[in-house]
Structure 1
Amino acid sequence: MILEQRYYKKRPKHVLASKIINATVFEVLELARKYLTKDTRNIDLLDVGCGSGEYAFKFEKFVKKVVGVEPYIPIYEKAVEQRARYKSSVILINKKIEAYQTNHRFDVVVSQNTIEHMSNAKESFEKIFKLMRPGAVLYLTAPNKLWPIEQHYHLPFLALLPLKWANAYMRITGKGDSYEDCSYSLSYRGIRNFFDQFPCEYHFVVPKSSDVGYLGCGEGGIWYKFILSVGIRLIRFNSFFWSFSKGFVLVAIKK
């Protein structure tokens, strides 16, 4: 359990747009249909870092079972409130993923915007892969460490600084006292090297729907969307251009 997490204290109090949630859920379900032999209605899904449960409660409508693991107590408590409101059967666990104990194995694991908050990501993902059945699907989103505007606090080059300097930058700009909670993001090369350690085959995907809330999709005005469109075309032309993407969507299949 985590009692304090500075990023959650400082981030804007907004609710994810329903179109982003819907598009992302349908994207994951389509990938599950592609890689799994079972009907999606029989899928057991694990949501790692489920937050207040926006995605978990939506997934519940389409799969057999959903377990959401959230270590940060205030956000977990919000998820519990939402579960009661929706009369949901989602199982909510207030632990770090490393501490979650079960004999159950999952068909799909969703890890959205969590890896940059994991101080020991290797241990976390060793546990995640243990919780996956052979052939199970991992859907992961992550920010690019090399993107010039840091994606949690929106400060230029924050993610590139040593933690000591990043903390000072945060204080000077009035964004907070510490960047540590969000300081574990990886570059394209870094995330490839990271997943090379695990028993899986993985690839990066460009969401089919422009509403999927990653790679900058679903954001910005006309000029921003134009740049996004060009970037996606470049990525589809050559995977080298993932190095310059705002973020990553990765799908891993456990061997």
Structure 2
Amino acid sequence: MLTSPHKYNEKNKMSASSANLAQRGYQYGFSENGNAMYDLTGRQRKAHTMIAVLQDYFGGNLNSRSILNLGGSTGIIDSVLAQHVQTVTSVDIDEKAIAYAQQHFSTPNLQFALGDAMNLAQANNTFDIVICSQVYEHVPDSAQMMQEIHRVLKPGGVCYFAASNRLMWNEPHYNLPLLSVMPRSIAHSYLRLAHKGDYYYEKHLSYWGLKKLVSHFKCHDYTTRMLASPLQFGIEYMVNPDHFKGKLAKFLAKYCFWSLPGYIWILEK
């Protein structure tokens, strides 16, 4: 979802008629794909969960911490984060989303900028925390992005990493069953037949692929803890422990962790 701060050429956009259809470039204009990035309640809930996890990990308030949010988009999450930390820098390649964020959210400790997650402008050892929430599948090279995250984190700094599992029943970006597990050539056709798009851009990894992706960090899993205490981490709206879905999630976390649809990890440098 992120690229260089320079204005891109239209020829780089992916479309069904593009000669480069089989190649993954940058994914521009993500905020224009539906209303998810403008969902105030949903985005605020995600932000409060991030804060709850980070406060638990650090054992207290985050007033002295600096955050870099990759793929901040419309700034809703950043506006909540900024209420709890010293500074927030939010970067994205989505020009319309950044313009929206700059217009609607303005505080002294909050900065929005066009930026490339695979080639960050920020210096080495700059941030206490990097937020990388549901971003890895959108960038052309997720391994390069993780190297950049490692570079800009201070020693002992952490990345809040929220990631979907390729082995999931329903692909959330397009609401299509089994889309993420299909060979990409078939997935493109599936999207077109369902009238949901021309090109399946997102590239999800399995649990084992995700573990390899973050292997140069020390990984602290919060997934199981969150499923056990959904109220503490503000996810009770998704996982009600008294309902079937909540009980199933806890069962899978205990016996088939690799099959969970997503994970929350704190990655320590």
TM-score of the pair, normalised by structure 1: 0.83
Higher helix share: 1
Q: Residue 21 of structure 1 contacts residue 212 of structure 1 at CA under 8 Å; is this kept in 2?
A: no
Match of 2:69 in 1: 47
1:54 CA drift (Å): 1.3
Matches within 5 A, 1:67-106: 67-84=89-106, 87=107, 89-103=109-123, 105-106=126-127
Structure 1 gaps, min length 5: none
1:205 CA drift (Å): 1.2
1:79 CA drift (Å): 1.2
Change (3 A) 1:91 1:22: closer
Q: Residue 23 of structure 1 contacts residue 209 of structure 1 at CA under 8 Å; is this kept in 2?
A: no
Select 1:17's aligned residue among 30, 41, 45.
41
Matches within 5 A, 1:90-239: 90-103=110-123, 105-180=126-201, 182=202, 184-196=203-215, 198=216, 200-206=217-223, 207=226, 208-210=229-231, 218-219=237-238, 226-235=243-252, 238=254
Q: Residue 149 of structure 1 contacts residue 155 of structure 1 at CA under 8 Å; is this kept in 2?
A: yes
Alpha-carbon distance between aligned partners in 2 of 1:179 and 1:7, rounded to the nearest angstrom: 13
Percentage of pairs with the same residue: 19
- Which stretch shows the higher mean deviation, 72-81 or 113-122? 72-81
RCO higher in structure (CA 8 A, sep ≥6): 1
Select 1:242's aligned residue among 253, 257, 260.
257
Select 1:60's aligned residue among 54, 57, 82.
82
Select 2:55's aligned residue among 5, 10, 30.
30
Q: Residue 45 of structure 1 contacts residue 66 of structure 1 at CA under 8 Å; is this kept in 2?
A: yes
Q: Residue 25 of structure 1 contacts residue 55 of structure 1 at CA under 8 Å; is this kept in 2?
A: no
- Which stretch shows the higher mean deviation, 158-167 or 22-31? 22-31
Alpha-carbon distance between aligned partners in 1 of 2:242 and 2:155, rounded to the nearest angstrom: 38
Alpha-carbon distance between aligned partners in 1 of 2:234 and 2:170, rounded to the nearest angstrom: 17
1:91 CA drift (Å): 1.1
**Letter of the structure 2 residue corresponding to residue 72 of structure 1:** D
Q: Residue 23 of structure 1 contacts residue 211 of structure 1 at CA under 8 Å; is this kept in 2?
A: no
RMSD over equivalenced CA pairs, Å: 2.7
Q: Residue 21 of structure 1 contacts residue 54 of structure 1 at CA under 8 Å; is this kept in 2?
A: no
